[in-house]
């Protein structure tokens, strides 16, 4: 069942008529989804999987670009962030019990596709942590025709000396009941709300930075701080598990900024090199959030992604007709 949820259309700057809804998960949490409409003769629906700390409104401009290219967009506030149910009494802690639990949110999102009667076929667009959740969903049979990723979190960039400590802290904190505390060097402050544009790790575009900062300062409930020790341990374990699995059998394209400093670029290169028919594109000068760069860069990325989606849909349609 879908129930109306708050949605901040002015901050999102998405297609007209966008709406948000509450939907329940199989493990009895409430997450928020948002539908950004496309044209009446849409080519399908993009499932937009956001990254850690993100929320539905952040992808309004992306959804507007997808609408211009003929697609509806459906996105989500994952458990523990945005306006979805938070996972700990400290609402600023980025926490999750098991990384696999995000797949309950994916299932709820697919239920919403049916309830809203959104056009087929479906496509996946995923950023950062959403790329990790999305890869697991693809492995488990997510019914999409093609996938696009930006800065996918298939590994987390940590100094070599810190990696063993991160694993040890995760295990140790769980054993003594402290796995909800913040990972080292992080805290409750939102990076975007309290940070400065100069030297930030997300975007080189001041307009993109201002867009994100305005959203989380005008709606403080959207803010999220650093990850908990448990989230970090779960994320590292999931990235390692996924690295051992073969690539899904569907067309895919991934984009990574040439100045990426948050996720593990060698893991992205390894995954896309081994992905049959997959392609990796470098965004020159780009930081982690390549879809929050200037409008020209964003448009170029989404045009390439949309082309992969369109080609996949045509191939699937031709195969179905000849069967």
Which pLDDT score is estimated for 317? Answer: 73
Extract the tokens encoding 80: 């523990």
pTM of the model: 0.95
Which pLDDT score is estimated for 99? Answer: 97
What's the CATH superfamily of 3-322? Alpha/Beta hydrolase fold, catalytic domain (3.40.50.1820)
pLDDT 10s digits, 281-312? 999 999 999 999 999 999 999 999 999 999 99
Q: Bridge-partner residues for 48, per DSSP?
A: 75, 125
- Compute the residue count for the chain: 323
pLDDT 10s digits, 9-24? 999 999 999 999 999 9
| DSSP-derived 3-state class of residue 93 | coil
Q: List strand residue ranges (DSSP E) for the chain, in order.
A: 3-5, 19-24, 30-36, 44-49, 71-77, 122-127, 147-150, 252-257, 278-283
pLDDT 10s digits, 240-278? 999 999 999 999 999 999 999 999 999 999 999 999 989
What residues contact 74, with CB distance under 8 A and at least 6 apart?
A: 33, 34, 35, 36, 45, 46, 47, 48, 109, 112, 113, 116, 118
Are the CB atoms for 197 and 214 separated by under 8 Å?
Answer: no
Question: Domain extents for the chain?
Answer: 3-322
pLDDT at residue 176 above 50? no
pLDDT at residue 167 above 60? no
- What average pLDDT does range 176-188 have in this prediction? 76
Extract the tokens encoding 321: 């007709």
């Amino acid at each position: 069942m879908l129930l109306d949820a708050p949605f901040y259309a002015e901050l999102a700057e998405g297609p007209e008529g966008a709406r948000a809804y509450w939907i329940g998960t199989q493990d009895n949490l409430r997450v928020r989804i948002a539908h950004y409409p496309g044209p009446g003769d849409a080519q399908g629906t993009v499932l937009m999987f956001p990254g850690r700390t993100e929320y539905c409104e952040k992808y309004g401009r992306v959804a507007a670009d997808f609408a211009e290219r003929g697609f509806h967009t459906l996105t989500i506030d994952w458990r523990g962030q945005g306006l979805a149910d938070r996972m700990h009494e400290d609402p600023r802690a980025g926490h999750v019990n098991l990384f696999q639990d995000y797949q309950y949110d994916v299932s709820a999102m697919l239920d919403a596709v049916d309830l809203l009667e959104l056009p087929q076929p479906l496509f996946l667009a995923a950023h950062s942590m959403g790329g990790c959740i999305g890869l697991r969903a693809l492995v488990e049979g997510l019914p999409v025709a093609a996938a696009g990723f930006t800065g996918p979190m298939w590994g987390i960039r940590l100094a070599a000396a810190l990696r063993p400590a991160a694993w040890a802290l995760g295990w140790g904190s769980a054993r003594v009941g402290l796995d909800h505390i913040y990972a080292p060097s992080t805290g409750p402050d939102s990076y975007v709300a309290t940070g400065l544009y100069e030297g930030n790790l997300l975007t080189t575009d001041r307009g993109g930075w201002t867009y994100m900062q305005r959203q989380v300062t005008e709606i403080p409930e959207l803010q999220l701080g650093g990850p908990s020790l448990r989230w970090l341990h779960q994320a590292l374990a999931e990235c390692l598990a996924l690295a051992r699995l073969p690539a899904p059998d569907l067309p895919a394209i991934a984009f990574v900024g040439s100045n990426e400093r948050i996720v593990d670029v060698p893991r992205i290169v390894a995954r896309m090199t081994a992905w049959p028919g997959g392609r990796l594109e470098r965004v020159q000068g780009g930081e982690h959030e390549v879809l929050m760069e200037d409008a020209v860069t964003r448009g170029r990325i989404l045009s390439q992604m949309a082309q992969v989606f369109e080609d996949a849909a045509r191939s699937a349609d031709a195969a179905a007709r000849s069967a």
